[in-house]
Chains A and B, each alone.
Chain A
């Protein structure tokens, strides 16, 4: 069965520093991968997606992610974090017909 692992429950980053959030997936076929962000009391907003092609994908708000098949990873990166990036981040994989399986999320805290 498909699964997504986000090994970091919380991450604290200083404002202006770089960020990398880890995501590992388990899925037999070529995966469709997503990163979503959730601010407190809000729904999930799509940051970026990977379906095929270039393994480095660009998203909104200056985020990017790199698909590495050999490592079954899809890590999210941002070169310079802003205080407004503080939120919870979810990695997800599509399997089957179109079912999204989410990781447990990583809470990003941004320190001044």
Chain B
């Protein structure tokens, strides 16, 4: 069974630029999550989708971050404009049902200069 796929793996941008991350969850998993992991900390949930709908985006900085999940499968997370403090690893995860264990992708390491 293929795991959660993410791209790109690494991205370096300047502040005020925009960036987008892509995630393809495990086939059949209805729930998809985006986490932000700052160096030295545990992952923090940004947004959770159940199929096409948003379940929880309470910690998403909506003035600069946006996310969508098209057709209940792939998802993109966008930052516009980026700030220095957005430098982090962005992890995508999926789960077949709730509550359940979450399966994580390899992450995208973002560096904002």
Q: Which residues of A does B touch, CB under 8 Å?
A: 4, 32, 34, 36, 41-46, 49, 51, 90, 92, 94, 96-105
A105 contacts B41, CB within 8 Å?
Answer: yes
> B93 to chain A: which residues have CB within 8 Å?
44
Q: Which residues of B does A touch, CB under 8 Å?
A: 4, 31, 33, 40-45, 48, 55-56, 91, 93, 95, 98-107, 109
Using A34-B101, A43-B105, A44-B104 as known contacts, say yes or no to A98 and B48 having CB atoms under 8 A apart.
yes
Closest 7 CB pairs of A and B: A102-B42, A98-B98, A43-B104, A44-B104, A43-B106, A98-B99, A94-B99
Q: State in angstroms the CA–CA spacing of A41 and B40 once bound together.
A: 13
Q: State in angstroms the CA–CA spacing of A103 and B107 once bound together.
A: 18
- A selection of 11 A-B contacts at a CB cut-off of 8 Å is A34-B101, A41-B106, A42-B106, A43-B105, A44-B43, A46-B102, A96-B56, A98-B48, A99-B48, A102-B44, A104-B40
Tell me the smallest distance from the CB of B59 to a CB of chain A, in Å.
9
Q: State in angstroms the CA–CA spacing of A28 and B16 once bound together.
A: 41
Per DSSP, chain A at the interface is strand
B42 contacts A90, CB within 8 Å?
Answer: yes
A45 contacts B56, CB within 8 Å?
Answer: no
A98 contacts B42, CB within 8 Å?
Answer: no
Among candidates B44, B56, B91, B102, residue contacting A97 with C-beta atoms closer than 8 Å = B56
Tell me the smallest distance from the CB of A11 to a CB of chain B, in Å.
15
A98 contacts B100, CB within 8 Å?
Answer: yes
A99 contacts B107, CB within 8 Å?
Answer: no
B104 contacts A100, CB within 8 Å?
Answer: no
> A97 to chain B: which residues have CB within 8 Å?
48, 55-56, 98
Tell me the smallest distance from the CB of B87 to a CB of chain A, in Å.
16
Q: State in angstroms the CA–CA spacing of A102 and B37 once bound together.
A: 10
Of all chain A residues, the one with the shortest Cβ separation from B31 is A98
Tell me the smallest distance from the CB of A33 to a CB of chain B, in Å.
11
Q: State in angstroms the CA–CA spacing of A34 and B43 once bound together.
A: 13
